Structure formats: C-alpha cells, structure tokens
Amino acid sequence: MRKNKNNEWDKLNAIEKHEAGYLWDKTSSYKSSFEPDVDKAFARFQKATSEQASPAKVRSLSRYTFLRVAAAILFIVGAFGLWQHFNAKPPTEVFATTATPEEILLDDGTFVTLNKNSSLHYPAAFKGGKRVVELEGEGFFTVAKNPQKPFIIKTAKTQVRVLGTVFNVRAYRQEDFVEVAVKEGKVAFGTRNSANHLTLTADERGTYAINANKLIEEKSGLNEWGWKDRQLNFKAARMSEIKTILERFFGVKINLEGTFEGCTLTASFGKVKTIDDVLNGIAAGINVSIRKDSPNKRYTIIGHCQ
C-alpha cells in the first residue's frame, strides 16, 4: 500500500487500518479506463497553435486561461486610507527561488515569474474580498483580472494594488529602494502605512526611496522586466544609463573610464547569457573597450568617444 503524503489517511488507518488499506489500493484504478485519443487531441492542438487567433478556439474556456491578460482599462477602487483593513489573513504558502527564476501559478490564475533569490507568500486559495500576497525580491506579475477582488502585493515597506494588469516589482532586502514598473494597465503603488501613493500606467515606473521615505514617478526605461526573458533593449542610451541597467541586470559593478561624449547605443540583445556577451556586443557597436578585472564581477568600460 502506498502512503499518502498527508497524514489524513494515516489517521483513518489507525481506526480501520486493514480495511482502509484495502480500499486505498482498490480505488487506485478509479477512472483509469478513460483513454482520450491523444493523436486527435494533438492535431487539435496543432491547429489551434497554427492559427494566430488561437484563444478564440477555446472560447468556452478562455476565461480560465491564466495568460489571458487583462485589457488595459482598469481603475482604482477605494481609498488608500482603507489599506489598513486589508491586513486580513496572513498568506500561508511560501515559494522561494535561489539561483534561477521560477514560475508560479496562483489559485486565481495570476501568473508570477519570480526572479532569483526571491520569495512569495500566498494562500493556497484566495478567500474574502481581496487577493493578498507578500513579496521579497523581484517578481513579474500577470494578474488575472477580477474587479471584485483587488490583488495586493505587500513588500516590507510598500504595497501595490491592482485589479488585473502586468507589471514588475523589485523589492530586494539589500537594496534601499522598492520599484514598480508597469507594462500594461494601471496600478496604485504606495507605502504600507500611509495613504500616499502613485498611480502608474504603462511605461511608467514608481520608486520608493526607503531611507528618504519618498515616492518618485518616472518614465520606465531600465529594462525593468528584461530579466524575465533574458532580453536587453537600448534606445539611444547614454553610457551612464547602460551602466545602471547592466549593474541591475547582472548584479555586478561597472566602472567607466575615458570619454563617452556623443556616444549612444541602440541595440537589442536576446537570450542574454553572460555579461561578457553583452559587453563584447557593445564594444563591437560603439567606440569603447572592455577590461575585466579580477576577481570577477568587476568590469571597466573605457570610452574613446569624442
């Protein structure tokens, strides 16, 4: 007899061990005779994927697909002053990453890509009038649209409140800022204990400077969610900007030496693996050279621009 992971059956077994064991084994074949036609199903799958409008093919189910990203018209409901009331039940499950990003599908269909060294606390099932999770580190959220149940992400100091949209949250403990960058839709971003907040829409970024206790709104442009797809895009970027982006992306230190006047870079890097690849690409594109100092994680870009 196979043991169940949870103890519930074991409890029962204590009462009627023999019988329960027998039933456990017997029932293992429940509905095992159901044999779908795999080839037919795969043909259907291929048809659906070959047609661009594939979501329509499964229209009866499309509202269950977690990738059905919300349309952009969203609005913020309720006053931020009421946030204190949102500290309902503590989230129960923890999902943590170490060296590599991982994906997690929440109960409501919300999809989260969790960057490395991050953790997400969430309930097995969202109950009550809102969906609350806690984040430490960085995550890219595709929140399932549900205007009746706002989705709230708490970090140590801030919270982000949305109804259904796509955005990136960066809140690493060792950094002195929390940052929210919006890809689609609209989110409200503020501190946990005050009504102050920013309303951010597509291509906007909000930064909370923890020590200064200040919320700052800017245009996004730091490749905020580039880590998710390992992509970097530069549009007429100045070297100081490139330095910031690469330092964030790879968690390294970069020094700048020489002159960069008049040097800007427009380039896209896909499937980025190492910083060396990117730096070599940059050196091939504009008039700079690269020095890698040992120990690793220390790079110098030397500019020869006039």
Partner 1 sequence: MSEDVIKELLKTNPEKGVEALFQEYYAWLCRVVYRIIPDGAVAEDLVQDLFLGLWKRRDNLEIRISLKAYLRRSAVNKSLNYIRDRRLQFEDDSHYENVASKLQGVEAQMAAAEMQQKIDRSIDGLPERCRIVFVLSRFEEMSYQEIADHLDISIKTVENQVSRALKQLRKDLL
Task: Name the DSSP letter for residue 26.
Answer: H
Minimum Å distance from CB 71 to partner 1? 17
Of 4 and 201, the one with the shorter C-beta distance to partner 1 is 4
Q: What angle do CA 37, 39, 43 make, to 5 degrees?
A: 120
Give the per-residue contact string, 28-67, with partner 1 (x = CB under 8 A; - = no).
Answer: -xxxxxxxx-x--xx-xx--xx----x---x-xxxxxxxx
For partner 1, the closer CB: 68 or 157: 68
Interface residue with partner 1, options 1, 10, 17, 22 (CB under 8 A): 22
d(CA 170, CA 176): 11
Rg of the chain, C-alpha, whole Å = 24
Q: Residues 130, 192, 228, 238: which binds partner 1 (CB under 8 A)?
A: 228
Question: Which window, 70-78, 106-114, 170-178, 294-302, contacts partner 1 (CB under 8 A)?
Answer: 106-114
Task: Give the rounded distance of the alpha carbon of 144 from its chain centre.
Answer: 13
Q: In sequence order, what are the residues at sequence separation of 6 or more whose Cβ sits closer than 8 angstroms to the Cβ of residue 295?
A: none
Q: Decide: is 136 part of the binding site for partner 1 (CB under 8 A).
A: no
110, 113, 155, 158: which one binds partner 1 (CB under 8 A): 113
Pick the binder of partner 1 from 127, 214, 235, 292 (CB under 8 A): 127
Please, what is the minimum distance in Å from the beta carbon of residue 23 to partner 1?
5
Q: Does 206 bind partner 1 (CB under 8 A)?
A: no
Cβ nearer to partner 1, comparing 65 with 280: 65
Q: Does 90 bind partner 1 (CB under 8 A)?
A: no
Q: Does 17 engage in binding with partner 1 (CB under 8 A)?
A: no
- What does the binding site for partner 1 look like in residue numbers (CB under 8 A)? 4-6, 8-9, 12, 19-20, 22-24, 26-27, 29-36, 38, 41-42, 44-45, 48-49, 54, 58, 60-67, 97, 100-103, 105, 107, 109, 111, 113, 123-125, 127, 228-229
